[in-house]
Amino acid sequence: MPPRPYTIRVPQDVIDDLRSRLARTRWPTAIPGSGWDYGADVLAIKELCDYWLDGYDWKRHERTLNRFPQFISRVDGVDIHYWHVKGETAGSFPLLLMHGWPGSILEFFAMIEPLTNPSKYGGKPEDSFDVVIPALPGFGFSGKPSQRGWGVTRIAAAFDSLMADELGYNWYGVQGGDWGGIIASKMASAHSEHVAGAHLNFMLGNPPDELTEQDREWLATRNAFQAQETGYSAVQGTKPMSVTVAQSDSPAGLAAWVVEKFRAWSDCGGDVESAFSRDVLLTNLMFYWVPNSIASAARIYHESQRDPGAFRYPKVETPTAFAVFPAEPWRTPRSWVEPRYNIQRWTEMPKGGHFAALEQPELLLKDVREFFRTIRP
């Protein structure tokens, strides 16, 4: 079945229901002055939800999102929703951009035109890409898998099928952060006959057997982060439905769970709205609220923990670039990563965090463009 054109259209009754739930939120009582110390800052989330109720205009954002051509392709029994935007020149290099949790395809929106139409933004026409930006299975407006087993390995195979079988791109690049980076790594390893190059802003690596003093410092920092900041992963990796019932019912609960991560993982100095506008935060939330996808998205943790090939695979021989953003919580030393990848480019960025495409699109764009100049036929 060929790709089916798609347009985001949210019925008014869904918006009315959202507003009704926001207006009737029963807020918990926080310890005075505790702020974000116990997780979400109740006062900050309430202010955001008040704006969601009275100031946020979804229809305006819906029109903006629909500026670029969207499609649905059924791959391995699941509908995949994606932007597919052709480059300004014939034979533009195909590039698959992949998001993670708790993000969405919105992360890459600001990069679409500079990637596909570089001459309009001071670039060269020969740098143009054919861009494909899919929502992960279970995320956003993609379909919700009804079977077990949709971990990294199966998603990587589905996305390779989307690019090669559905869209006819037998030679393409991949880029991603968070789960998108993990899936990109898996694709570069398992589907190297199609993946020409991988650009990542998220990577996983293990410390060497013999630790230097710097290695010990890195390990201590990572262990402290794991102990204090990864409870969400333990829950979603073991009992995701126990918490997503609440998030599916309460937009305020959804906002608390997601926005706390945007604050903790970004280069915002503790002020989340210094890195992301309220409209950006809420539009990203709408990709979870409107299609009721928070539960199906969270299951990627559960499924991938039970996927023996998710994080274990031979060294990635595909040419690989890493963009290292200073506020990335999972930042990993190059010496830990080199045994796993064929590193051709390593860029230490001056600013930015986990949500690189949203926080620093120009820096990420420049690095992607320069790396794939070395990969293009």
Return d(Cα 353, Cα 327) in angstroms, integer. 4
Task: Kindly give the pairing relationship between strand 93-98 and strand 172-176.
Answer: parallel
Query: Per the residue annotation, which of 169, 288, 301, 341 is the catalytic one?
Result: 301
Q: Please say whether the dihedral angle defined by the alpha carbons of residues 196, 81, 8 and 15, taken in this order, is positive or negative.
A: negative
Query: Per the residue annotation, which of 61, 199, 302, 354 is the catalytic one?
Result: 354
Query: Per the residue annotation, which of 178, 267, 307, 367 is the catalytic one?
Result: 178
Kindly give the residue spans of alpha helices, DSSP state H, lying in the chain.
12-23, 42-54, 58-65, 112-116, 152-161, 179-190, 213-229, 231-238, 240-249, 251-265, 278-289, 294-305, 334-337, 356-359, 361-373
Annotation says 178 is catalytic: yes
CB 175 within 8 A of CB 184: yes
Q: Which residue is listed with tokens 């990709």?
A: 287
Return d(Cα 115, Cα 98) in angstroms, integer. 15
Taking phi first (over 0 means left), then psi (-120 to 50 degrees means alpha), and beta for anything else, what does residue 35 get? left
Annotation says 301 is catalytic: yes
Residues annotated as catalytic are: 178, 301, 354
